Amino acid sequence: MNFQFSISNFQKNVPLNNHTTFKIGGPAKYFFAAKTKEDIIQAINWAKKNDLPFFILGGGSNMVVSDKGFNGLVIKIQTTNYKLQAARLHAEAGVLIETLVRETGKLGLSGFEWAGGLPGTLGGAIRGNAGAFGGEIKDNIIEVEALDNKGRIRKFSKKQCRFSYRDSIFKDKNWIILSAIFVFKNGDGEKIKEAAREHINYRKERHPLEYPSAGSVFKNCDLKDVPINIRNFFKDVVKTDPFPVVPAAAIIARAGLKGLRAGGAEVSEKHPNYIVNKDNARAVDVLKLIKMVKKKVKENFGIKLEEEIQLLGFSSNNLLTK
């Protein structure tokens, strides 16, 4: 390959386990930290020119990287500028969610309390329409700026983003989020900060944060997708998120799968919708465990669990459905 790339912080053979919350994954052949919109576009153009696959990396949560790594270019989004003016926020994709929760809370702006303790970056949250405690990232969005597959910078209204449960047009079409604009409501600053703190503490108490993980592995199950003959078995755990769902954690727990292991990966005893890296787990361990959980849940309850996590560096993105 005729390699010419002018950006100074370009790297080769960078271990991706250091860039994911799971602490799993082999090296990226090429790695670039993009600090501006122009950096992102230039890196993508270079990859396309050299017929090289590329991947946009945010905070590294909700993903599993192959033990063999990624034979392409990983573009780490480090665009971290944001501006809060009155009740409006303009933020770039690389800003951490925890930063936005903290800063909007300081100003008494209500709308991000639900995201207290949520890991990752804004771009990743928008892509998967992240949500918790009855709230979703889409709730306060006015506009999203993204790069489509033809390299055009486009602006999308909330409606055009096609948000649905843990999904968006950006996830469906693999378009790259650059920035977004939000609007909030003015509220009581102390109450807003306290609500965010409660959610942070809830995560600390209920989630297995003592071990590396990718966060929730499976989407919660729409109550309509639960076979009628077993709905009563789960009626005590149904919650609104933002529509009636049966938590995946409850389904996995009632299938008796807490503590199930494959190699160094384990279904968390504390929160069974987490798979934790208990003992130097490999990506193959995680995939094996996901398949085991899906198989057992399907056999026991007739429920088909759907993953939230994304795969990188594998020969097929359909490995978990086989």
> 65-98: per-residue pLDDT in tens?
999 999 999 999 999 999 999 999 999 999 999 9
Residues 6 or more apart in contact with residue 49 via CB below 8 angstroms: none
Residue 204: CB atoms within 10 Å: 11
Report pLDDT for 315.
Answer: 79
- Residue found by looking up tokens 């909700």 in the block: 62
Asked whether the predicted pLDDT for residue 18 surpasses 90, the reply is yes
d(CA 229, CA 221): 15
Asked whether the predicted pLDDT for residue 137 surpasses 60, the reply is yes
Span 232-272, pLDDT tens digits: 999 999 998 778 999 999 999 999 999 999 999 999 999 99
Band (pLDDT 50/70/90 cuts) for residue 9 is: low
d(CA 173, CA 191): 38
CA R_g for the chain: 20
Band (pLDDT 50/70/90 cuts) for residue 213 is: very high
Is-contact 137 126, C-beta < 8 A? yes
* CATH match of 210-321 with 1.10.3720.10: no
Band (pLDDT 50/70/90 cuts) for residue 309 is: very high
CATH level 2 (architecture), domain 82-191: 2-Layer Sandwich (3.30)
Band (pLDDT 50/70/90 cuts) for residue 320 is: low
Asked whether the predicted pLDDT for residue 316 surpasses 80, the reply is no
CATH level 2 (architecture), domain 11-77: 2-Layer Sandwich (3.30)
d(CA 172, CA 163): 10
- Write phi, then psi, for 241 (nearest 5 degrees): -155, 65
Which carries the bigger pLDDT value, residue 157 or residue 131?
157
Asked whether the predicted pLDDT for residue 217 surpasses 60, the reply is yes
- Could you give the residue ranges of the DSSP H alpha helices within 141-214? 169-173, 189-206
Report pLDDT for 216.
Answer: 94
Report pLDDT for 240.
Answer: 87
Sheet holding 213-216, edge to edge: 213-216, 274-277, 265-267, 261-262
Span 20-54, pLDDT tens digits: 999 999 999 999 999 999 999 999 999 999 899 99
Report pLDDT for 6.
Answer: 53
What mean pLDDT do residues 208-215 have? 95
Residue 45's alpha-carbon distances to 41, 51, 170, in angstroms, are 6, 10, 19
Name the average pLDDT for the chain: 93
Q: Where are the domains of the chain?
A: 11-77, 82-191, 210-321
What mean pLDDT do residues 222-227 have? 94
Strand partners, 65: 312
Report pLDDT for 2.
Answer: 46
For 172-191, letters b (16+ CB in 10 Å) and e give eeebbbbbbbbebeebeeee
Strand partners, 63: 310
Catalytic residues: 166, 216, 308
Report pLDDT for 134.
Answer: 86
